[in-house]
Amino acid sequence: MARRFVRVDLSDGARDFRPLAIEPGVAVLDRPGATAKILFKWLGGMVAEPEWRGDRVDFFVRDDHGGRLEEVVCQPASSEDLQGLLKDDMALLAERLEKAKADSSTERAVLGAVRKHGLMLTAYSPVARGRAAEDETLQAIGRKHGKSATQVALRWLIEQKNVAAVPKAGTRAHAEANFAIFDFALDADDRAKIDKLGGNDRIVDIAGWAPDWDRA
């Protein structure tokens, strides 16, 4: 019988954690286990399997077929181990992470729902609180069209069906720049490059007041 290799106590009396998400609205530890399935799809046996027991979570080690390993030994790994004994495992992990793509994201599920019902999806912080302006891919696309990286990001949003963007404008110049996105269009190559950017970082912490999409 497989035995857990670690247990995490998330009860109120023992809580010592910060809620995290791999993308907006998707908790790393969700009770239905949907996120664990996505991670297993990406990383196989290199990601532990969580099992909720009340307010505690047991983690099990699996093989790439999903079977739980019965005997697991945990011990610290040194930098020498990572470069020596575990070198091949680290290379495999890097390869799987490189190929990982959130093709089951909550954002896409929500977008599909609003399109089905004829609603609009508004992009919150559409330029990632200024981070879009620093992206080299967006900058390169912008140079091709004579636009800024921020304008490219806004154009990419509004070109999608049932999507609206409401960027912040602290000055008149910013407002005018935000509106100057209707005189050009992204081509297939531009969109392909943007799609490869990924982006599973939570930018705005909406815990406490946003809907729990995974259980809605």
pLDDT of residue 79: 87
pLDDT of residue 1: 65
CA distance 207 to 193: 31
**Residues β-bridged to residue 7:** 58
The residue ranges of DSSP E strands in the chain, in sequence order, are 6-9, 21-23, 26-27, 49-53, 56-60, 121-123, 163-165
Q: What's the burial of 5, exposed, middle or buried (CB within 10 Å: 0-12/13-18/19+)?
A: middle
- Tokens representing 166 are 């409401």
CA distance 178 to 169: 8
Domain positions in the chain:
6-99, 106-197
pLDDT of residue 168: 83
What CA–CA distances, in Å, run from 204 to 127, 129, 157, 207?
A: 12, 9, 18, 9
- Tokens representing 58 are 């047991």
pLDDT tens, the chain, 216 aa long:
677 777 777 777 765 555 554 444 445 677 777 777 777 877 888 888 888 888 888 888 888 887 888 777 777 888 888 889 889 988 888 888 776 654 445 667 777 788 888 888 888 788 888 888 888 999 999 999 999 999 999 999 988 888 888 888 888 998 999 999 999 999 988 988 888 786 555 556 555 555 554 444
CA distance 115 to 126: 19
What number of helices (H) and strands (E) belong to the chain? 8, 7
Could you report the per-residue pLDDT of 20-53, keeping only the tens digit for each? 544 444 456 777 777 777 778 778 888 888 888 8
Ramachandran angles phi, psi of 170, nearest 5°: -80, -15
